[in-house]
Amino acid sequence: MKLTVPADGLRADAFLAEAVEGLSRSAAQRLLERGAVLCQGRPVGKSERLPAGAEVELDLPDPQPLEAAPEDIPLDVVYEDEDVVVVNKPVGMVVHPAPGHPSGTVVNALLHHCGASLSGINGVLRPGIVHRIDRDTSGLLIAAKNDRAHLALAAQLQDHTLRRLYHGVTIGALREDAGTVDAPLGRNPKDRKKMAVVPDGREAVTHYEVLERLPGHTYAAFRLETGRTHQIRVHMAHLGHPLLGDRVYGPPKGYPGLAGQCLHAKALTFLHPATGRPVTVECPLPEAFLAVLDALRRGT
């Protein structure tokens, strides 16, 4: 894997953790210690600062097989054919196995539902997974059932022809009825477990539209132009209006009746990988979301 350093003076380990999705800073340091990272043909030290524009070559090891076993977990399948499957993920369900979540994931459920009919491009760690949504966000997730479909959908993510629409409730009143947040995202320099708006982050663009103004809150729709980690959550917090129930980027006490942030992936539009025709899939708001809207409308 080849990467280009965007700004002068970045530490090698911090740069790699930011540039490579899913790579922690400690994992980046281990790669640096093994000599698996080269800059202009020479090994890079883990605390070395890199010059802007330098080309870094990273030799990533093959992913270790994870014991992701098929599990008979109920799935809310909203759309399915021989190429793709779209599921409505509930709040609290992790998308793919990872340390701390080895089972009970969407991948475990898909392996049972689809059998061997899942793309292998993402390896055994994430079979079929084209994109992700947060554990505590509900809604639509598309998976590919073969490599051809996976490549086509991944390309649509890159050129924005795969459109994702979310509904959410923010704390406070959004000033404009519609707008765009164009603010780069990266790891929070003070807390690497969080994301933040940072000058040298990756491009991130979120479009929003107010659906309903509620006492002390705003019910809004969000359309992703890019798909960075926690993008909507961080962008709304950046505006001073974090999502209701978001204990990471908003008040730590959360909100009664919500297990996570009040955010739901409501609609997906994509070009079918086999026919090229547009397909739009929608799903209703979950009961907890509807209960929040009802309580806010009643002022309780």
Lowest mean pLDDT among 34-43, 95-104, 249-258, 280-289: 95-104
The superfamily CATH assigns to domain 165-264+290-298 is Pseudouridine synthase (3.30.2350.10)
267: β partners: 165, 282
Residue whose C-alpha is closest to residue 14's, from 1, 3, 2, 29: 29
The more confident residue out of 28 and 79 is 79
Q: Where are the domains of the chain?
A: 2-58, 68-157, 165-264+290-298
Segment 152-171 mean pLDDT: 94
Which tokens hold the place of 76? 């809310």
d(CA 16, CA 31): 10
CATH number, domain 2-58: 3.10.290.10
Partners of 169 in the β-ladder: 219
- Across the range 78-105, mean pLDDT stands at 91
- Taking the C-alpha atoms of residue 200 and residue 7, their distance in angstroms, rounded to an integer, is 7
Structure tokens at 296: 């806010």
Is it true that 68-157 and 165-264+290-298 share their CATH fold? yes
Least trusted range by pLDDT, from 113-122, 158-167, 238-247: 113-122
Predicted local confidence at residue 222, as pLDDT = 98
Mean pLDDT for the chain? 91
Instruction: Provide the token pair at 34.
Output: 């093994």
pLDDT band at 102 (very low <50, low <70, confident <90, very high): confident
Q: Is the pTM of this model over 0.85?
A: no
pLDDT band of 75, cuts 50, 70, 90 = very high
> CA 2 to CA 71: how far, in whole Å?
37
CB burial readout 71-90, b (16+ within 10 A) else e: eebebeebbeeebbbbbbbe
The per-residue pLDDT for 46 is 77
Q: How far apart are CA 174 and CA 178, in angstroms?
A: 9
Tell me, what's the pLDDT at 68? Answer: 74
Structure tokens at 41: 């043909």
> What pLDDT, on a 0 to 100 scale, did the predictor assign at position 168?
98
Residue 229 half-sphere exposure, CB side, CA atoms within 13 Å?
18
Residue 61 has pLDDT above 90, yes or no: no
**Architecture per CATH, 68-157:** 2-Layer Sandwich (3.30)
User: Which pLDDT value is given to residue 150?
Assistant: 94
Give the pLDDT of residue 35: 86
Q: Which of 14-28, 106-120, 162-176, 233-247 has the lowest mean pLDDT?
A: 14-28
| Per-residue confidence band for 120, with pLDDT thresholds at 50, 70 and 90 | confident
Percent of the chain at pLDDT above 90? 64
Q: Using 50, 70 and 90 to split pLDDT, how confident is the model at 66?
A: very low
Per residue in 12-51, pLDDT (tens digit) is 888 888 888 667 777 788 888 888 899 888 899 878 999 8
What are the catalytic residues? 134
Confidence of residue 156 (pLDDT cuts 50, 70, 90): very high
Q: 8 near 48, Cβ under 8 Å? A: no
pLDDT-derived band at 212 (thresholds 50, 70, 90) equals very high
Are 232 and 263 in contact by the 8 Å Cβ rule? The answer is yes
Residue 13 confidence (pLDDT): 87
